[in-house]
Amino acid sequence: MKRRRISPHHTSIYGGTNRNPLISINPLEPLTSIVPTDTITISGTVNDLDEGDTVTMEYKLNQGPFQPVAMQGETWSFSISAGDLRDGENIIELKAIDNKGGVTVKRMAIDQTPRIVPVKVSQSRYMILPPKGEMKGLVAWIQRKKGDLQVKGDLSIVATGQPEFFVPMEKTSAELSHALDEDQFIGSVETAGQNVTIKLTETRTDALNSSAAITKIAGVIN
C-alpha cells in the first residue's frame, strides 16, 4: 500500500491581449493509502472572461502524451489509475486552450511514496477432509520459531451445508529447543460433522522486525 500526498499546484499563463482561460482544481480527497486498482478522479472548473470564447482542455501524466479532458459547460474532470503512478513525485499538467489561441497551463504533483504497513495480526484457515466422512475432534501440534509470535487456534466442525461455527481450542505450549517452541491444540464438538476447518490467528508484537514464524503443523483426528 502507498501513501499519497498532493502538493500545491503551479500556474503558468501565456497569451497576448486575449484573456486566457482560468483553471480551478477542486481539492482532492485525502487518502492514507492506495492500491494499484484504485482510481483517482481530478476535477474542477475553467472560465474564460472573453465573451463568446470556447475552451477545450487536455492533460498529461508525467512524460505521457496529452489526452482530452471531458467537459460539461465550465466543469471538467478526468480519472487516472493509481497503477499508472510511479514511485515518488508524479506531475499532472493541465492545459486549457481557447479558440483565439489563449493558453493556460496548470501543474499539480502527486507524491506516491511506498509505505510499509506491518501486519500484527493475521489469520490462516485449513480445511480437513475426514477419512471416514465425519469427525468430532482433533489434536494439532504447531512448531514455531521462538520470538514474539503467538498462535491461537479455533475449530469448526459442522454438517454439510451449515455455516462455520468456531470454538476455541485448548492450548498448551512447550519448548522443543533453543530455537523452537511447540503449541498443542485440542478441540472437539459433541456432534460429528463433515465440514472441518481450523482457524489459526497469528499475533506479533513487533511485526516490522519479527522473524518468528510457524515451521510445521501436524495432527491427528478422532
- For the stretch 9-58, pLDDT in tens is 544 444 447 788 899 999 887 655 667 778 889 999 998 888 878 899 99
Residues 197-209 pLDDT 10s:
999 999 988 877 7
Q: What pTM was estimated for this model as a whole?
A: 0.51
**Which of 21-35, 135-149, 187-201 is predicted least confidently?**
21-35
Q: What is the mean pLDDT of residues 190-216?
A: 89
Which domains are present in the chain? 2-114 (2.60.40.10), 121-221 (2.60.40)
- The mean per-residue pLDDT over the stretch 80-101 comes to 90
Q: Contact, 34 vs 82, CB < 8 A?
A: yes
| Assigned C-alpha cell, 31 | 487518502
Q: How confident is the model at residue 7 (pLDDT cuts 50, 70, 90)?
A: low
- Determine which helix (DSSP H) or strand (DSSP E) holds 147, and give its type and residue range: none
**Residue 25: partners with Cβ closer than 8 Å, 6 or more residues away:** 9, 42, 43, 44, 94, 106, 108
